[in-house]
Amino acid sequence: MSEIGSLLGKPKETKAYAPSEKWVLPKSLIGLEFEYEGVVDPPQFLYDNPTIPTFWKTQREDSLKDFGCEFVFQTPLFGADAYTALQTLVDAAIKAKFKCTLRAGIHVHLDVREMETSQLIGLIILYTIVEPLIFRWIGANREHSIYCVPFYKADESLSEAVKIVRAVHFDESNNSRTTFERAKNFGRYAALNLNALSKFGSVEFRHMRTNHNLEFITDWVNIIQSLKAATYKLPTSDGAILRLARNQPANTFLTYVFGTQLAKKLWFSGADDLIHMVGIPTALDLVLNGLSLTDWYSGESVSAPKGAHQGFKRFLDDAPKVDEPKKRPKMAPSISGAYSSSDEFEVGVVPSTPDGPQHHPASLTPNQLLGIEAQVQAAQFFNNTSPPDDPWTDLPPGNFYTVS
C-alpha cells in the first residue's frame, strides 16, 4: 500500500515540531550556520537523505577558501527538529570529509523577538560578564580570531553595543525604531553579533570553530540558551545583575545561570579572576555608559583640587617654541578615525547611577513583576546555597570533549 504523499509526489512531513529535553529551552527557536571548506561538489548522499534539504540550505561563502560553503537552517527550528538537523548534518559532513579549518565557524542565532527590552539588555550584560570564560571554554584560540572579536578586546564594538542599548531605551520611551538602524550598523564580526537583531530579530554567537563533536556543539547551544533563560529569572535591574556576579564566588554564580553541569564545564580555578578582572569591568563600561538614560557625564564626578602642576609647566618649558595654539578646538582634527575626547571628559561631570529610578517606572509590567519575584528567588538561592560539596575539578576545556 502506497502512501498518498508519495503517490502525489508530495513527500510527507519530516519535521516533528516537538520540544526536546536535549535543550535548556526545549521550545526556543534557534538558527544554525555551519561553515566548511573543501565542499567542491556536495555529494549526492547529502540530498538522498530528505532531512538535509528539509532543514538545511547551502550557499557559497566568500570569507572562506578552498570551495568554502555555508550550511544554514532553512527556517529557525526548535526542540527535536533542531537536534535532528544538527545530528544529520554532522554525520553527513563527517562522511563527506568536509574540512573544518581555521577560518570556518559555527554560528548560533538565538531568537530574542519575544524578549522584553530589559531582558535583552540583561542578556547582553550577562554575556559580557561571562564572555572571557566562554572564550576559554571554546578554546582553539578563537579569542584572537578576527571573525569573532570579544567585547573585552574591541572597545569600539562595545561602544556600538552601548548605542544599541541606548536605542532600545529610547524606542521604548518614544515608540520609535532607532534600534533597527543602530543594529544595522553594528560591526558583524564581534563575537556577539547584534547586527542580526536588524536582520532576523536574533543575536548571533560566532565563537565556535567548526567541529564535528555533537556534545560540544549541543553544550554550546545550551550555554547560549541558558543565558536567555537566566534573563527571565534574574533581577531586571542591570546594576543588580552586576552585583550578583560580583558578590558570589564564580562557581555559585555560574551554577545559578547555567546549571551545575554546564557551570562545571565553564569553571576553572581562575574563573573568579577572569570574571572580576575582565568580565565585570567590561560589563560596567556597558552599564555605566549605555544604560543610564542620561549622558555619562552629566554632573560633578571628579572634583580634583585646582592649582598649578609644576611638572606640567616644566614639560611645556622644555618644548620648542611654536606658534601659540589657536582657540582650543572642541574636537581634535580627524585623523583616520582618530578623535579626541578631552573636552567631552572635562572634570566636574558625573554619570548617573545605573540603578537610577528611571529604570523602575511607577507602573510595573507583568514582566517587571516577574523580575521582582526573580530577585526574591535569587536572594533565596544565594542565601541557601552553600558552595558545592564535591570539589570542582580544574580541567582544561578540551578535557570534556574529543573535538574532531
Q: According to CB under 8 A, which residues from 364 to 403 bind another protein?
A: none
What is the smallest separation between the CB atom of 292 and another protein, expressed in angstroms?
10
Give the 3-state secondary structure of residue 346. Answer: coil
Q: What is the DSSP letter of 352?
A: P
If one counts every other C-beta atom within 10 angstroms of the C-beta of residue 338, the result is 8
CA distances (Å), origin 55, targets 70, 91, 211, 264, 357: 13, 14, 19, 32, 47
What is the smallest separation between the CB atom of 192 and another protein, expressed in angstroms?
9
**357 lines the binding site for another protein (CB under 8 A):** no
Nearer to another protein, 81 or 143 (CB): 143
Site for another protein in 280-299 (CB under 8 A): 280-281, 284-285, 288, 296, 299
**356 lines the binding site for another protein (CB under 8 A):** no
Q: What is the DSSP letter of 1?
A: -
Which one of 166-174, 210-218, 305-313, 384-392 is the stretch in contact with another protein (CB under 8 A)? 305-313
Nearer to another protein, 357 or 366 (CB): 357
Site for another protein in 143-202 (CB under 8 A): 144-146, 149, 151, 153-157, 160, 187-191
Q: Which one of residues 2, 308, 362, 389 is an interface residue with another protein (CB under 8 A)?
A: 308
Q: Which one of residues 260, 301, 365, 402 is an interface residue with another protein (CB under 8 A)?
A: 301
CA distance 134 to 127: 9
**22 lines the binding site for another protein (CB under 8 A):** no
Site for another protein in 86-105 (CB under 8 A): 101-102
CA distance 255 to 267: 10
Least Cα distance to 354 among 274, 302, 280, 254 occurs for: 280
Which one of 8-16, 306-314, 362-370, 389-397 is the stretch in contact with another protein (CB under 8 A)? 306-314
| Angle (nearest 5°) at CA 247 between 246 and 249 | 90
Cell numbers 546549571 correspond to: 259
Nearer to another protein, 4 or 335 (CB): 335
Give DSSP secondary structure letters for 256-297: HHHHHHHHHHH--TTHHHHIIIIIHHHHHHHIIIII-SS-SS
Q: Which one of residues 6, 294, 342, 380 is an interface residue with another protein (CB under 8 A)?
A: 342
CA distances (Å), origin 115, targets 90, 184, 230, 244, 312: 31, 19, 12, 21, 52
What is the smallest separation between the CB atom of 205 and another protein, expressed in angstroms?
14
**How far is Cα of residue 216 from the mean position of the Cα atoms in its chain?**
18
Give the 3-state secondary structure of residue 384. Answer: helix
Nearer to another protein, 109 or 264 (CB): 109
What is the smallest separation between the CB atom of 320 and another protein, expressed in angstroms?
7
What is the smallest separation between the CB atom of 286 and another protein, expressed in angstroms?
12
Nearer to another protein, 12 or 309 (CB): 309
CA distance 74 to 63: 21
Q: Which one of residues 174, 328, 384, 386 is an interface residue with another protein (CB under 8 A)?
A: 328
Site for another protein in 39-68 (CB under 8 A): 63
Least Cα distance to 136 among 283, 265, 277 occurs for: 265
**125 lines the binding site for another protein (CB under 8 A):** no
Site for another protein in 219-258 (CB under 8 A): 242, 246
